[in-house]
Amino acid sequence: MGGVAGFTACSLLASSRAGQAAGLHRQGRGRPAGQVKEAGPATDSVVGDAVTPMGPMPTSARWAYILDSTTGTVLLSRNAEERMPPSSLTKMMTAYVVFAFLASGRIRLEQEFPVSSRAWKMEGSRMFVPLGSSVSVENLIRGMLIQSGNDACVVLAEGIAGSEERFVALMNEAAQRIGLRNSHFMNVTGLPDASHYMCAQDVAMLAQHLIRDFPRYYGFFGEKEFTFNHIRQGNRNVLVDKGLADGLKTGHTDAGGFGLCASSERNGNRVIVVINGTASTNERAHEGERLMSWAFSSFETVQLLHKGQVVEPAAAVWNGEHRTVGLAVAEDVSLTIPVGWSSKVQISVDYPSPIPAPVAAGQKSGHVSVGLPGQPRVYSPLYTVSPVGELGFAGRILSRFGHAPQ
């Protein structure tokens, strides 16, 4: 048996000063697993509809995903679990491994790595490291993230792991560890390889980990220019250059089209935008800026419940000295929703009923969930607010005849 609290969200939230209205519904916990799809070449982007909480929205990006990093709410998704060529977005994963080595003290920013012939000969975008020279880890990171230097990536990989192949193994291990389900790496640069892929959802998750796990080093993504070997290059992420984002990365190959991952924080909320498969640098910049602006202007984060707030004042207790006990939320509960949609939020309280005595204060008993109809829900545990002792033998006998203590 389970219990569902019979409150209206309007009265509940009014008492907590949240000032938001919502309706009560019983919701299941089901979370269907995503389907993994293979992608073909992205020669020309095609405008199509992305899924948002407000309904379909057109985007020129073949792959797109927008995440409110603060609450974990998905704001927009198009082919977000489909495998795609990540191009230089791969360098975010390369950076994650490099940052992990820095954070553990196994390498230092001022440490220098030698430039091999293989690194010097790398094709594509480069920071132009001189053959036979040694370059500091700090400069190599800037060359990798600001100038998108393939040569810098290889120098870092060889300096840390001895070879690019061994470093790639570290990338795949780290990807599994942080939960990237649809990602596999064959190189440190993002150069084309049929077995090298990510999905837009994984790119956003990786960005979230970079921001949260390595705040000391995240600032490298937001630097607007870098000069090395007398060659000045600007950050290729237009949103960073315009001050609309504080990181992360762009990428381009013929197979993947033009892609971008960007993040920004405004009024305490952080948004991560991922697009890929646009047709040009101009389209990438325009669509990235449009979607970032849309995410911040169209959504708000509402605190619905406060830590310690009683959401069920009288949960039934079995064989207890008292017949009921109050249930309270263990933490603040917030939700990111479209602006003006607070009246559509549903709040559900689910707990085992009756709760068998004895009951300890602070005992976990069920959960509360909040969400919009048809959207994934946010769950938070419930705890009992007071202890309830178990009835003695005589009390248990009396309770069978409906004479238990009040």
**249 assigned to a ligand binding site:** yes
**Contact indicator for 229, 59 with CB cutoff of 8 Å:** no
Find the catalytic residue in 60, 91, 116, 183.
91
The DSSP result for 157-209, as a single string, is HHHHHSSHHHHHHHHHHHHHHTT-TT-B-S-SS----TT-BB-HHHHHHHHHH
- Whether 148 is catalytic is yes
**Contact indicator for 206, 96 with CB cutoff of 8 Å:** yes
Alpha helices in 16-84 (DSSP H): none
| Pairwise CA distance, residues 301 & 334, whole Å | 7
Find the catalytic residue in 45, 60, 125, 148.
148
**Contact indicator for 228, 143 with CB cutoff of 8 Å:** yes
**Contact indicator for 102, 136 with CB cutoff of 8 Å:** no
- Which tokens go with 238? 């237009």
Task: Find, among 229, 69, 241, 38, the residue nearest to 133 by Cα.
Answer: 229
Helix or strand run (H / E) with residue 352: strand 345-352
- Whether 136 is catalytic is no
| Pairwise CA distance, residues 56 & 47, whole Å | 12
Tracing tokens 């006990």 back to the chain, one arrives at 325
Question: Burial, 312: exposed, middle or buried (Cβ in 10 Å; 0-12, 13-18, 19+)?
Answer: buried
Find the catalytic residue in 88, 116, 125, 264.
88
Ranges assigned E (strand) in 176-309:
225-228, 231-234, 247-253, 257-266, 269-278, 299-305
| Pairwise CA distance, residues 187 & 197, whole Å | 10
Residue 69 sits at φ, ψ, to 5 deg, of -65, -25
Question: Burial, 106: exposed, middle or buried (Cβ in 10 Å; 0-12, 13-18, 19+)?
Answer: exposed
- Whether 88 is catalytic is yes
Q: What distances in angstroms separate CA 228 from CA 99, 119, 147, 371, one per listed residue?
A: 21, 16, 10, 50
Residues annotated within a binding site for substrate:
249
Residues annotated within a binding site:
249
Supply the residues annotated as catalytic: 88, 91, 148
